[in-house]
């Protein structure tokens, strides 16, 4: 195996369950200090990919290198260097929060002070509360605390803010961004596109087990056209091929929003056209995501 400078290298990874292919020959890499996002609808292959990276499952085909080793074969040496936040933590309900942290610390080679980590995730005031008595959001924050306890250089986050209220979610985002800025590498799956926009340096969008798009947020958004919405439905002939008419309004699709906006407004002024509605909207990550999920090319 050739050791690369990347924290993670995935080449031709596939994972099959009998006749079903959950992950279909995907390739990607994650650089040191990067937050890499795996996006996709349910069943796209995100969690199946994470399980291989974490050493919890073997690939059906392909090679995976994490922290310079094989995550399954070298699990004993690699696991203490990773923090893992599963989609469902399943921590013992009969233990208190502090007892849970103490138990989890036994799996870490260099555990951080438990109370300090609990304070980071706003759970210190619940230290003596049994896990079973925590709310769903509090249990999710405890899952995150366990992932952070080892002071790991690489953290896997599978839907980290599911079940959190908006304020708690934002607090977790700030904490994760601080960790990234300190040099921690993260791999994130999420259904919250705003979360991906806030945290991720690069993203890939999985669909039916394959990577449909990969790149920075700006690179992904550039793959979809922006929109100019006009009422009444009048546009210059130069833009007619880009226009979709919907009753009294027209939508102009453009890959050059600023230039086309200025051009249409100049044409309208020269031709005495007054728009009762004019809206220019750049493409968003949601547009990109939905176009893939819905099979729009």
- Is the predicted pLDDT of residue 3 greater than 80, yes or no? no
- Kind of pairing between the strands at 202-207 and 35-39: parallel
Residue of higher predicted confidence among 119 and 297: 119
Q: What is the pLDDT of residues 269-281, one digit of tens each?
A: 999 999 999 999 9
CA distance 64 to 49: 10
Answer yes or no: are the C-beta atoms of 118 and 150 closer than 8 Å: no
CA distance 227 to 229: 6
Reference 286, options 189, 186, 214, 217; nearest CA is 217
What one-character DSSP code corresponds to residue 111? P
Q: Which residue has the tokens 């919890």?
A: 56
Q: What is the pLDDT of residues 127-158, one digit of tens each?
A: 999 999 998 888 888 999 999 999 889 999 99
What pLDDT was estimated at residue 203?
96
Q: What is the pTM of this model?
A: 0.85
132 bridge partner residues: none
What domains are there in the chain, each with its CATH number? 33-44+72-221 (3.40.50.300), 226-293 (no CATH)
Strand order from edge to edge, sheet including 35-39 = 82-85, 154-158, 185-189, 35-39, 202-207, 210-215
Cβ neighbours around 216 below 10 Å, total: 12
What pLDDT was estimated at residue 2?
47
69 bridge partner residues: 66
Mean pLDDT, rounded, of the chain? 91
What pLDDT was estimated at residue 1?
45
Q: What is the pLDDT of residues 82-98, one digit of tens each?
A: 999 987 767 888 999 99
């Amino acid at each position: 195996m050739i050791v690369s400078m990347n924290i993670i290298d995935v080449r031709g990874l596939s994972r099959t369950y009998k006749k079903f292919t959950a992950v279909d020959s995907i390739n990607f890499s994650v650089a040191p200090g990067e937050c890499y996002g795996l996006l996709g609808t349910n069943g796209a292959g995100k969690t199946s990919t994470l399980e291989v990276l974490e050493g919890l499952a073997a690939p059906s085909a392909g090679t995976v290198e994490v922290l310079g080793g094989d995550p399954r074969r070298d699990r004993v040496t690699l696991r203490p260097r990773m923090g893992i936040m599963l989609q469902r933590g399943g921590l013992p309900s009969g233990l208190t929060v502090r007892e849970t942290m103490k138990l989890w610390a036994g799996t870490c080679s260099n555990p951080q002070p438990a109370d300090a980590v609990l304070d980071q995730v706003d759970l210190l005031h619940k230290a003596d509360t049994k896990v079973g008595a925590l709310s769903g959001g509090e249990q999710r924050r405890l899952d995150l605390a366990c992932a952070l306890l080892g002071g790991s250089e690489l953290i896997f986050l599978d839907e980290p803010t599911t079940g959190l209220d908006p304020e708690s979610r934002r607090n977790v985002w700030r904490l994760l961004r601080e960790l990234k800025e300190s040099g921690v590498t993260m791999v994130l799956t999420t259904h919250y596109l705003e979360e991906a926009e806030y945290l991720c340096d690069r993203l890939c969008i999985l669909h039916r087990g394959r990577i449909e798009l990969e790149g920075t947020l700006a690179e992904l958004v550039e793959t979809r056209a922006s929109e100019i919405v006009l009422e009444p439905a009048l546009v210059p002939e130069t833009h007619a091929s880009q226009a979709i008419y919907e009753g009294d309004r027209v939508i102009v699709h453009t890959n050059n929003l600023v230039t086309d906006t200025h051009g249409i407004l100049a044409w309208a002024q020269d031709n005495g056209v007054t728009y009762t509605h004019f809206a220019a909207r750049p493409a968003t990550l949601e547009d990109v995501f939905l176009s893939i999920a819905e099979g729009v090319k």
